[in-house]
Amino acid sequence: MDLQPIKNRFGITGNTTGLNHALHTAAQVASTDLSVIISGESGVGKEVFSQIIHTLSPRKHNPFIAVNCGAIPEGTIDSELFGHEKGSFTGAVDSRKGYFETVNGGTIFLDEIGEMPLGTQARLLRVLETGEFIRVGSSKVQKTDVRVIAASNKDLLELSQKGRFREDLFYRLNTVPIRVPALRNRKEDILLLFRKFAADFSDKYKSIPVQLDDEAKALLLAYPWPGNIRELKNIAEQISVLSKDRILSANQLRTFLPEHSNAQLPMLAGHGNVTQTEFANEREIIYKLFFDLKKDVNEMKKMFFDLAQNPQLAQHVPVYSEDVSQNEFHPSLSTPSPIVSSPVYIQGNESSGNIHQHEIIDESLSIMDMEKELIIKALKKHRGKRRDAANDLGISERTLYRKLKEYNIDDL
């Protein structure tokens, strides 16, 4: 199938395998009435694929509506989707048709469906299976003929296993899955997209298109693009408006990239060559581990220095066990010593005040052990909230979930 006409029609730039496969699947399924789930990170362009499916389908002359389920309050989403009768709740001064009624014969795109309440999910499942729905406050069953396309940036199967998404609805929707790849997995498309956006904004603002030198191009490729195409477009617009130079160097480009991600970017070396190594999530964890380990070592050095200055403190130094909960601190110490994962024993002689055996350390240097320990610390810190823990670790929630499975870590 020739995908270029579709790309031209919908303004899609790129030719990577993952993108072409997603487009090919969308074009094939368009002529049917099968339900589709479009998955992918925020900013990859999931809504464009829903428009492709509708436009290439027999329903193309009928209504199409996109609904962001995460933007509608839980108390009103049933009314928005299925309508309500007059007086059915406070503020219902008139009867109102819902989206499934007004889009009859067309297509409804339910974006961020993972945010939909469980009660609404049950109503949606009935529509998918029987084509029937009931307005809020009514007992009359109505019929509708609507094709449903859903999208989510979350793993719906994982949510269903946690009881936050109906499993039967997932399998009913997931007749044809379409996975839109993240921009960092479309390296060969990044420069093409930047040039396209730069040209678009030069026309819009009547200016010369911005360009990148070789170092800046390498930096652009190395950036992880957490916001995907949406973020790339925004940065291209910023550069087009704010940059005085029309050809940017790597250092100039770096000023437009978000600060929180600059630490992950490769540094310039030699005569300005930029390494194109992409720092994977696992490597970021390791760097954080080493940073925390260095901090612990510095704390230990300070403790030993204090002991050397005042040997009387030796008798109060705690002996650590592998079980952190069993560690105790003597009340005479104003500041607890740092918790280490390996046993540290310090013995003192009260009569002489000298430390005969000052240190026995058997410390694990396994990167996997340190990675597991840091994940556990993050989960404890955020009281088991995976999203907060993943943000603190600098990884995605999905990577954290995979690591929990890999290390057999239960929710804390």
- What fold characterizes domain 4-181? Rossmann fold (3.40.50)
* Residue 348, pLDDT above cutoff 70: no
Instruction: Please choose, from the candidates 162, 156, 142, 135, the residue with its C-alpha nearest in 3D space to the C-alpha of residue 36.
Output: 156
Banded pLDDT at 378 (limits 50, 70, 90): confident
* Residue 3, pLDDT above cutoff 70: yes
Entry pTM: 0.61
Bridging pattern class, strands 147-152 and 107-111: parallel
* Residue 181, pLDDT above cutoff 70: yes
CATH class for the region spanning 184-279: mainly alpha
Give me the chain's average pLDDT, please: 80
Banded pLDDT at 346 (limits 50, 70, 90): very low
Of the chain, the percentage scoring pLDDT greater than 70 comes to 75
* Residue 74, pLDDT above cutoff 50: yes
* Residue 180, pLDDT above cutoff 70: yes
Of the chain, the percentage scoring pLDDT greater than 90 comes to 52
Instruction: Mark 238-253 as b/e (b = at least 16 C-beta within 10 Å).
Output: ebbeebeeeebbbebb
Banded pLDDT at 293 (limits 50, 70, 90): confident
Task: Locate the DSSP E strands across 99-246.
Answer: 107-111, 132-134, 141-143, 147-152, 176-179, 211-212
* Identical fold, 4-181 and 184-279: no
* Residue 272, pLDDT above cutoff 50: no
Banded pLDDT at 60 (limits 50, 70, 90): very high
Instruction: Please choose, from the candidates 203, 195, 197, 206, the residue with its C-alpha nearest in 3D space to the C-alpha of residue 237.
Output: 197
pLDDT digit string (tens) for 206-256? 889 999 999 999 999 999 999 999 999 999 999 999 988 889 999 999 999
- Per-residue pLDDT, 412: 62
* Residue 157, pLDDT above cutoff 70: yes
Task: Give one DSSP letter per residue of 9-77, joined into a string.
Answer: HHT-----HHHHHHHHHHHHHTTS---EEEE--TTS-HHHHHHHHHHTSTTTTS-EEEEEGGGS-TTTH
- Per-residue pLDDT, 335: 42
Higher pLDDT, 137 or 405: 137
Give residue limits of the domains in the chain. 4-181, 184-279, 280-329+337-412
* Residue 332, pLDDT above cutoff 70: no
Banded pLDDT at 276 (limits 50, 70, 90): very low
Tell me, rounded to whole angstroms, the distance of Cα 164 from its chain centroid. 18
pLDDT digit string (tens) for 84-125? 988 888 777 888 899 999 999 999 999 999 999 999 999 999
- Per-residue pLDDT, 331: 42
- Per-residue pLDDT, 286: 63
At 85, which amino acid appears?
A: E
- Summarize the confidence of residues 378-401 as an average pLDDT: 83
Banded pLDDT at 300 (limits 50, 70, 90): confident
* Residue 182, pLDDT above cutoff 90: yes
* Residue 188, pLDDT above cutoff 70: yes
pLDDT digit string (tens) for 17-47? 999 999 999 999 999 999 999 999 999 999 9
- Summarize the confidence of residues 166-175 as an average pLDDT: 93
- Summarize the confidence of residues 338-357 as an average pLDDT: 43
Banded pLDDT at 377 (limits 50, 70, 90): confident
